[in-house]
Each structure stands twice: as C-alpha cells, then as structure tokens.
Structure 1
C-alpha cells in the first residue's frame, strides 16, 4: 500500500517574502527556512516546523512536488528530506524522473495540445496586444507550452483578467491570476494528468493533494483527500469539494497547516500498511 502526495509549491508549501503573511508581532513570528535562492538572494521560505513535516513526507509517502514552474525554476528549490524521485513541472508539461524530464511524456503532452486548443502564438499575440505598459512588467513564455504576464498588481484593472478569461475560454485556454503573474494555460495541460501517470508508475492506491489556484483545481478534484489554504484564487472564489479541506490559516502558516495535514494522513496510511504487512507475514508463518 502506497500513498502519493502531490502538492503545489508556491503559495501552498513555500512562500516568497511578500507572501509570508506574518501579521503577528515580530517577536512571535515563526522561524523560517530558506529553500530557494535566486541571483544570490533568498527567495522562498517555509517554517521550520513545515520543513520537518515535508521531510517526513519523503519517508512515508511518494512525495511529488507539483508546480507551474519550469524545470529550471523548480531546480532552484531545495526542499527538506530525500530528493523526490518524481516531480511535475510546467503545469504537467514535464514529468521529472530523478531530476530529468521524461521525453515520452513531454512528447505526448505536446501532441495533445496541438490537437485540442488554439496555438500558443495566437494567445501570446493577444496578451501582447491587450497588456498596458502602465502595469505590465514582463511578458514570458514557459517551455513553449503556456504564456504569462508579470504585472504591477496595484495598477492592474479589475476587469482585465475577467475579459481575458472570456476571450480564452472558447479557445481552450485557462486564465489564472497568482500574485503578480497572470497565466494563460491550455486546458489539456493539467497537473492531474501527470499525477495520474505517477500514480500508475508508483503503484499508489491513495492520492493526497494540495493547491491554492485555479490551475490546482483539477489536481484537488482528482485526489482522494485534498487541502487548500485560506488565501489564493480558490479561497477567494469559495471553491470547494466534499473531499477538500479548506484550512483557516493564510500565508506561510497555511503552508505549515497543510504540510501537517498531509504528513499526518500519510503517516496513518504508512502505519496501516506496515500493520498489514506484519499480519501477512504472521499468517505465512502459521
């Protein structure tokens, strides 16, 4: 019996300084562990308590970091515990096995996208044409799979994301606003499809997931049990499902709460599996 834990990273398990949400007095703030450095500067953190829980997940479950980051961006993150054998990057576009992208999986994903949605070039052209330089900071393409804008949130008009969503929907694309980034992602490019493949390869019989954005909704829906933080797109929309637990905490405290829930559930599953193995061995001796 094996449990698979697939968790989103940014704003679910790990947090930038701007997303920490440390609204308590400084003397009461939790100790933090930096897990990512970018251009020589610390970038992403989790609490020390969450770090211990994540390390435990690596020992009691098939722990699969599941992210919209590109493989290059993911490799900057050094989570506590044993290095995960599997990781999902580019929202499911890359399935990393022992740190390397599986070429057959990547080719299959590209084939599916070519057959079912508007081309990336059309979407990128629309983003470039409609983004206002007054609030646009950067325009990027990730792995030739999807596009995103980095924006100044304070200047971003409320209606822009809504109008972009209406435009993208009939073209087979999803729009998601996460922090300072507006993502445009093909609907067939999903984290859940990649998790299903890892489940098959690992022989897992239970799947636990966590995430905070609309791009994580399919990941949460496909799980046996799932968790989302008290912040993010899903929380703002009030999104839920019968098997999804919405933790009350926000910011890095939510990351710790989710890590604790995942670890406790995985540990119970592991203990149950261990007892069944012991009983099976005992029956064999009898």
Structure 2
C-alpha cells in the first residue's frame, strides 16, 4: 500500500507545536529530525521514529509537503530515504531525491489557466500591512506566502484574500504564522496519484492537518487528521477520514501507529 503524509504539524513538529501538556516527568523522549542554521528545529517522538522506520519497510511511504525542495532536504526522517516525495504542494515530484522533469512539464501546463504568480504577489504586497507582515516569500516560482504576526493579523484578512484569489484560480490557506496563496491545480493529491500509478499501489492512505491537505485526504482510500490544525479548527471531515483526538506530537505518533497497523 501507499501512505502519503504531510510533514509539518502532522508527522514532525517544531518546539512550539509539540503540545506537551503532560507533567515534564511524563513527556515522551524526542528525536530531532531537522536542523536549521545549526539549531534543532523539528522533532518527532522516539516511538514515532520507530513506527515510521517499520512503516517505510512495509509500504510505499511518501512525504507530501508544501515545503520547497531545499526545505524538505533538511528533514532527516528515520528509515531509508523515501524513493518518492512530493514537494511544493505537488509542484515537484521527487524520484530518489531528484525532481522528475516530466512531472514539472505537466505542472506548468496545468497552471496556464490561473492568474500569474506576479499578479498574486503584487496583490499580496498591496494588501499586506507592515504592522503585521514579517516576510513575503516565493516558493519554487510556483506559489507565494506571507509570514505574519498572528496577534496583529486582522481576522478578516485571510477571507478577503481568499475571496479575491478564488476567481483567479488560487487557494488561500493560513497555517501557523504563514498565509499561503497556491494555484488551485497545484495539489498534493495529483502528485500522489501519479506515484500510485507508477508503483502500482492499489490502496492509498493519507494524513494531513491543513486546508492544503484536504484534496490529499479526499482522494485517499482512508486517512487521518490530527485534533489540531486548520482542518480540525474548521470542523472539516469526510466519511473515510478518522478525526483523531490527539493533538501535537502525540497525533503524529497515533497516525503512524494506525498506518502501520494497516500495513501489517
């Protein structure tokens, strides 16, 4: 079977997102799986690390992330390197760590009906307030995102941006401190479907926490979403998706435990 999972706040967690609410003496042992600028950045529990290593040996495990290729390559997951990975929200399909040129060409064709990236960036710059905007970035020349001060971000901004972007073929998603603007055809589900076709996997499982993961979850045969995140906060659900109660790093461990049970 094929198991495709989002990374950030689904399988791996920053220190701020770990959700360690138990007494310190009861906290799980953690494994650092990413460093940035010589400092630890992302973690999973040691138990989750063992579950992932076994899962990768029993199934086609596909990291499916909105991260750029450079950001993804900082992550050192347990087990063997993934033969397939999805980066840039489906913009790049990696095969043994290298972007597949056939998939790149397919993506470029799919994006021709959307408003151009430059138009979206111009609108973001025009509407973002320096009082809450921290950074404006472009990912892989495919989509844009803002890093914001959540405490100062107006409650109406994301909806207003989505209302403007929707008719132009773009999707807007708020994840943590980042507001993503992504062309609607740029999806994780399309790239994962191509991997399933290439590997011949008859069954696909998926996990994710954000609006940008919803298409991946809907396209799967079964899936899981954590008790935190954009999907949980909005009450998003589907008949074949298990809405977990666990939040934070415990949710990542539960997802892997459930996926491995299916693989066994």
Corresponding residue of 2:24: 26
1:128 to 114, 125, 137: 125
Corresponding residue of 1:263: 260
Corresponding residue of 2:227: 230
Summarize deviations over 1:211-263 as a string: whole Å, max 9, x none.
00000000000000100000011001111111000110101111111111111
Aligned mates of 1:234, 1:76 — CA distance in 2: 26
Please state how far the C-alpha of 1:94 moved relative to its aligned partner.
Answer: 0.2
1:196 matches 2:193: yes
Aligned mates of 2:257, 2:81 — CA distance in 1: 19
CA RMSD of aligned residues (A): 0.6
Of Structure 1 and Structure 2, the greater helix share is in 1
Corresponding residue of 1:273: none
Aligned mates of 1:48, 1:246 — CA distance in 2: 23
Summarize deviations over 1:165-204 as a string: whole Å, max 9, x none.
1111111100000011000000000000000100010010
Aligned pairs for 1:7-22 within 5 A: 7-22=5-20
1:88 matches 2:86: yes
Please state how far the C-alpha of 1:148 moved relative to its aligned partner.
Answer: 0.1
2:111 to 103, 109, 113: 113
Aligned mates of 1:216, 1:195 — CA distance in 2: 12
Aligned pairs for 1:164-243 within 5 A: 164-243=161-240
Q: What count of residue pairs does the alignment treat as equivalent? A: 264
Dislocated runs of 4+, deviation >6 Å: none
1:65 matches 2:63: yes
Q: Please report the TM-score for the alignment, with normalisation by the length of structure 2.
A: 0.99
1:100 matches 2:91: no
Aligned mates of 1:183, 1:247 — CA distance in 2: 25
Q: Mean alpha-carbon deviation: is it higher for 257-266 or for 195-204? A: 257-266
Larger radius of gyration: 1
Aligned mates of 1:58, 1:161 — CA distance in 2: 37
Please state how far the C-alpha of 1:108 moved relative to its aligned partner.
Answer: 1.1
Structure 2 unaligned residues grouped into runs of 5+: none
Aligned mates of 1:56, 1:151 — CA distance in 2: 38
Say which SS state the counterpart of residue 156 (structure 2) adopts.
Answer: helix
Aligned mates of 2:41, 2:132 — CA distance in 1: 23
Aligned mates of 2:174, 2:66 — CA distance in 1: 12
Summarize deviations over 1:71-99 as a string: whole Å, max 9, x none.
11000000001111000000000000000
Say which SS state the counterpart of residue 151 (structure 2) adopts.
Answer: helix
Structure 1 unaligned residues grouped into runs of 5+: 268-286
Say which SS state the counterpart of residue 181 (structure 2) adopts.
Answer: strand
1:142 matches 2:143: no
Aligned mates of 2:128, 2:9 — CA distance in 1: 25
Aligned mates of 2:145, 2:171 — CA distance in 1: 11
Q: Please report the TM-score for the alignment, with normalisation by the length of structure 1.
A: 0.91
